[in-house]
Structure 1
């Protein structure tokens, strides 16, 4: 087995894309990142892409590192995990964290046991998939894409969303660039009551047959009114209407309200992901 290291998706082994697309849901984050890098090579600074291949150039494991985020891992078999962990240990011994499917990450840590005592915080995420929307209880909100005049609000809400989810916030200029680009491409949707925005969501990563939903945020003063359910159901249906076969999203497993909301509109739990901070 050989670890290939790249700083451009086109330099990865040809088998990497098909390896990831074999399980679009589980690998939707790496697939989305690779797609973004193809469209914008400067989207991330100092990143590395890792692909473990066998003697026939078949990809057996994949990971990416986009600082300041942790190493993200996707892999298949136990031998591949073992070889990948050993190779990463030599290439990048000072990990700040690791994330990915729980079973995969647990096997990785078995090969690098010194990391376990360094774990300072654990996040548990559920990966959900929707193939058909279950209409929620109607709300007074009207759904539509965010516009240029919503930029400041989107930036405030993105920061609040990151804080709520304990995510690493983008630097101000990067966050502004992100918001401007997403608004221009009509990917951010807002629910409004009258002229007042009450909830947000984004049509995110584009996959081969599906698309992700994210940035689901409702300010505290507007929670409990069904706005997020209405918005996510509406946006998910728009994505399906565009010809995608499914929608997917992540939510924190300890957030019982979010998990219930998504299940009620047709999302089905598929897999647990973990993020260990060192």
Structure 2
């Protein structure tokens, strides 16, 4: 026995944390706990990674005036197995937690019902979104309605479609701000919802890091745009892709998508991702021809009382 150790001492044992959800408004604390988990499968966690990156860079009110809420689910060993991000007034975004069991999803719905009873909806992989929607109905009496079914794609081998339309790609700059604001709003109307942040803020954010590529005619007239998120955890997500209604069907959106994808690869992205609306067979077919391959299906539900 060491002379420094009293005869009656016993080794201290740190108790294992109880499994469950921990909610916080502290972005840095959330990232400290969850970053390794989120980066372990960046494709499946792409929304949480890009949203928290925007909050880190642009500030906590990047998506609205309300305070963002974050959460992690840990098991008895303290390992993070699930996470969520909610930026009011928008839907909560969940990592794939349905495989953890209905009790984990139910516990989150119960806790969020206490602190965010005005939650407008949920977005997640299809199984998780559906499970959470049912749990939310049970705990709040709200009605959950499926809004959008999406498919997440990951780039395989980039294959530009032929023929390439006349024109060229260029990165949008300050002189394009008014156009980007207008197209951002038109895109929101076209897909049936507003974008996740104010159109002006969105344009300023994207211009600041070169996050929008335009396809323009030989005379310099912009014809389509394709956006891209910042690179985080090695991945870039293409979003949004927009062509004005009177210019569709001519390959401009596809050309812009190829250009922004190639730029992401040239800048060092290990993965390039994008979401499509499963109700739009044209875009799903186009992106597969370009070289994108399905990763999994996602869903967005709306809640109403």
Q: Normalising to structure 2: TM-score of the pair?
A: 0.84
- Contact 1:8–1:41 under 8 Å retained in 2: no
- Contact 1:126–1:269 under 8 Å retained in 2: yes
Q: Which residue of 2 aligns with 1:165?
A: 191
Q: Which residue of 2 aligns with 1:180?
A: 204
Q: Which residue of 2 aligns with 1:250?
A: 275
- Contact 1:202–1:216 under 8 Å retained in 2: yes
Tell me the distance in 2 between the aligned counterparts of 1:122 and 1:116: 18
Tell me the distance in 1 between the aligned counterparts of 2:255 and 2:43: 23
Q: Which residue of 1 aligns with 2:14?
A: none
Q: Which residue of 2 aligns with 1:131?
A: 156
Per-residue deviation, residues 37-95 of structure 1 (Å, max 9, x unmatched): 22232324321111122333221221111112111111341153343333333333342
Per-residue deviation, residues 75-127 of structure 1 (Å, max 9, x unmatched): 34115334333333333334211111111122224434436871345211111
Which protein shows a greater Rg? 2
Q: Which residue of 1 aligns with 2:182?
A: 156
Q: 1:37 aligns with which of 48, 55, 71?
A: 55
SS at match of 1:111: helix
Q: Which residue of 2 aligns with 1:90?
A: 114
1:271 aligns with 2:296: yes
Deviation at 1:133? 0.4
Q: Which residue of 2 aligns with 1:52?
A: 73
Structure 1's unaligned 5+ residue stretches are none
Tell me the distance in 2 between the aligned counterparts of 1:197 and 1:136: 20
Q: 1:101 aligns with which of 109, 125, 143?
A: 125
Deviation at 1:181? 2.9
How does 1:194-205 map onto structure 2 within 5 Å? 194-205=219-230
Q: Which residue of 2 aligns with 1:211?
A: 236
What is the aligned-residue RMSD (CA, Å)? 2.0
Q: How many corresponding residue pairs?
A: 276
Q: Residues 61 and 266 of structure 1: is their aligned pair in 2 closer, same or farther, counting only changes over 3 Å? A: same
